[in-house]
Amino acid sequence: MCCLLPWVMAKRQGTKEPGGEASWDSGGKVLRLQGPFTVRSGADPFPPPPGDPGDAALRVDGAGISQWDSLLVERLGGLADEAAGKGFSLEWQDLPAGVEDLLEERNRITAEARAAGAGPETPGEADPGAPPRKSLLQTVGRTTEEVAERELSLPLFLGQTVLSVGRLLRGRAVFQGRDFLEVLWECSGRALPIVLLISFLTGLIFAFIGATQLQRFGAEIFVPPLVSLAMFREMGALMTGIILSGRTGSAFAARIGSMKANDELNALQTMGVSPFDFIVLPRLLALVLLMPLLGFLASWAGVMGGFLMSVSFLGLTPATYVTQTAQSLDLANFLIGPVKSVVFGALIALIGCQQGMAAGASASSVGRAATSAVVQAITWIIVADALFAILMNLYGS
Amino acid sequence: MNGPTEQEKAAPEETPALAVESLTIGYGSKAIMAGIDFRLRRGEIFFILGGSGSGKSTLLKTLIGLIPPLKGKVSFFGQLFDGDDPRGQQALLQRTGVLYQGGALFSSMNLRENVALPLRIHTRLDEKTILALADYKLRLVELGMAGDRFPSEISGGMMKRAGLARALALDPEILFFDEPSAGLDPVTSHQLDETIRRLNHSLGTTVVVVSHELASIFALAERIVFLDAASRQQLEVGDPRTLRTDSPHATVREFLARGGDDSAKQEPPATPA
């Protein structure tokens, strides 16, 4: 589809004037070209010589050509190729000046390309730019190999990060305070409004969903615990994690990817600085510190959302809402959110940095790294959340 | 392959600044180039030449320890440069400086902080001295006024010069340049060449340049190594001015002669009389 689109657009924009026409004269010996033969005007393909020309000598009469460009050269060249294949000969007559030179040039480069393609391969001269076409089986195998390689680099990355954290604890890491502060600000001041808004609305939505069901039993009084438990145990951390994956994880990947493209990572290495100390560590620490805080505030915003809905639509008094909420939240429920947030924060930072470091050195691969950082971070956050749910179910808290 | 006489000429009694012995380079199991072998005497300006895809950049990366050699040895100042001994490798790296293609400045720091970073990491100097040294290095590359600027605020040529100032931070004995003229206009490129020559002259720094800019080669290079993509071997080590006419390899002669006239215009002494 995507390859058709430009063609469709070109068709629409194309000029209305008709392209040139080619027709064989009555004897079938002379091909008369009439009108413009340009890429813009377009022209129908030359009709094949009528009947079997055998080894006859055919003529192309170009006296009527009004305009021409590479389209004409390509068409004539194609005809010449056909002539060579079928054994008839061609001669040009009244072609515009320059066309014959271009035709010769075309034949030469075509022959060269053919010779290079079919020539015997000497070892050491194989062109790495032109890999042989792969079968489906090969493609599947290679892709599996590549994916395995990519995923296996993650444990290596984790190991390096652990070493780096160890160096930090011993005070030996070259740590960049400025990056740390920048990330702190980026994930706190700047991320807070959107995190609060989304969480507020999430709380509101939960209250609505809960209310429609609970009202049937006259149990609206359970809306506040429903909202507060959902926000503190699940949604606060989850929503914050998803938002930060989108705005921070991808930013990490893009930033580090472009640093890699600019040789900055190599420069660090030759300077004797571990890129993990210098780049991963500040980001990891900033997110691990900030995520619980953001998640906690997000949970409160959600409770506010539930409060607004319950008080204005369900007729609960503010006092009831507050006492109900307070009763439902014990210490365990307060702690679960921040613990999850720490894990989510670490996941976002590690995946963002890993994707950035694994990015290739081109602009498009930086974009891909950012995208896959978001997708992977969100996936892993949800997987981790599911694991938390199972664990907490097992231990009954 | 180069004859032993060439090497003896290049390496008199002193230990070579950089010795490369039958080196095979490449990634993983894929060798790109084999049998690389040359020695640099101290204070020499040496160019690594070759067509696209001949492994110039890979050789440079191998020389500065970013990728391990597949076979063979690299040693600096007579000491083996070995990835199995990270501490020793790092100690040798501190005696080298690298100017990467785009300058590789850290975008979150201004130029002064960029230049100060190696000093902060590897020295115990006090803050004031570090900043004074950083400013001094910036003045060396004529960026004395730009210390407070950030990499995003300066031109490509300035980035390279700032990268050079950072490479000079620890007063390296060997400087590596990765395509210094890439992306620069001829005048800026020529100025950078002059800076390289000046540093080599005044500080006695050994200089290794990866480049295919013929003007720079004839202006600066005392000797070159030519890497050939087709045979995956080094074809020549020697003086580019003699190689241009006397090399037995047509590839080398062609490569060097292509821009001979231009370089002759720019650098009259470079043309063989």
Residue B83 confidence (pLDDT) above 70: yes
For residue A273, give the nearest of B64, B96, B121 by CB distance.
B121
Specify the range with the lowest mean pLDDT, choosing from A71-75, A380-384, B203-207, B264-268: B264-268
DSSP string, A125-193: ---TTSPPPPPHHHHHHHHHHHHHHHHHHHHHHHHHHHHHHHHHHTT-S---HHHHHHHHHHHTTTTHH
Q: Name residue, tokens 């409160």.
A: A300
Closest residue in chain B to residue A179, using alpha carbons only:
B108
Residue-level pLDDT at A179: 78
The model's pLDDT over B174-192, given as tens digits with 9 standing for 90+, comes to: 999 998 888 888 888 888 8
Q: Which residues contact A377 (CB under 8 A, 6 or more apart)?
A: A241, A245, A249, A347, A348, A351, A352
Q: Is A13 on the interface with B (CB under 8 A)?
A: no
Residue-level pLDDT at B267: 43
Residue-level pLDDT at B87: 85
Residue-level pLDDT at A220: 85
For residue B108, give the nearest of A178, A263, A266 by CB distance.
A178
| Residues of chain B in Cβ contact (below 8 Å) with chain A | 53, 61, 64-66, 90, 93-94, 96, 98, 100-109, 117-118, 120-122, 166, 178, 230-232
Residue-level pLDDT at A8: 52
Residue-level pLDDT at B211: 87
Does ipTM surpass 0.90 in this model?
A: no
For residue B104, give the nearest of A125, A174, A264 by CB distance.
A264
Residue B7 confidence (pLDDT) above 60: no
B83, with CB counted inside 10 A (0-12, 13-18, 19+), is middle
* Residues of chain A contacting B93 with CB distance shorter than 8 Å: 270-272
Closest residue in chain B to residue A263, using alpha carbons only:
B104
Interface test with A, best of B117, B228, B235 (most A CBs within 10 A): B117
Interface test with A, best of B63, B96, B108, B109 (most A CBs within 10 A): B108
Taking an 8 Å cut-off on Cβ atoms, the answer to whether B104 and A266 are in contact is: yes
Instruction: Provide the 10 A C-beta neighbour count for residue A321.
Output: 24
Taking an 8 Å cut-off on Cβ atoms, the answer to whether A266 and B96 are in contact is: no
CA dihedral A128, A129, A133, A137 (to 10 degrees): 60
pTM above 0.80, yes or no: no
State the 10-residue block means of pLDDT for chain A, 397 residues long.
Answer: 51 60 81 85 79 76 85 85 82 85 84 66 46 76 78 76 83 75 83 93 93 88 91 92 93 91 89 86 91 93 93 89 89 88 94 88 84 93 94 81
Closest residue in chain A to residue B102, using alpha carbons only:
A262
For residue B102, give the nearest of A125, A262, A269 by CB distance.
A262
Taking an 8 Å cut-off on Cβ atoms, the answer to whether A272 and B122 are in contact is: yes
Residue-level pLDDT at A167: 83
For residue A262, give the nearest of B104, B120, B166 by CB distance.
B104
Residue-level pLDDT at A12: 53
Under DSSP, is residue A302 helix (H, G, I), strand (E, B) or coil? helix
Taking an 8 Å cut-off on Cβ atoms, the answer to whether A272 and B232 are in contact is: no
DSSP string, A81-110: HHHHHHT-EEEEESPPTTHHHHHHHHHHHH
The model's pLDDT over B16-41, given as tens digits with 9 standing for 90+, comes to: 889 999 889 888 778 888 889 999 98
For residue A263, give the nearest of B53, B101, B122 by CB distance.
B101
CB hemisphere CA count around A218 (13 angstroms): 0
* Residues of chain A contacting B183 with CB distance shorter than 8 Å: none
Which of these, A380, A375, A341, lies nearest to A237 by C-alpha position?
A: A341
Q: Distance (Å, rounded) from C-alpha A322 to C-alpha A8?
A: 62
The model's pLDDT over B212-248, given as tens digits with 9 standing for 90+, comes to: 888 888 888 899 898 888 888 888 888 888 888 888 8
The enclosing H or E element of A266 equals: helix A264-270
Which of these, A273, A379, A350, lies nearest to B118 by C-alpha position?
A: A273
Q: Distance (Å, rounded) from C-alpha B228 to C-alpha B258?
A: 16
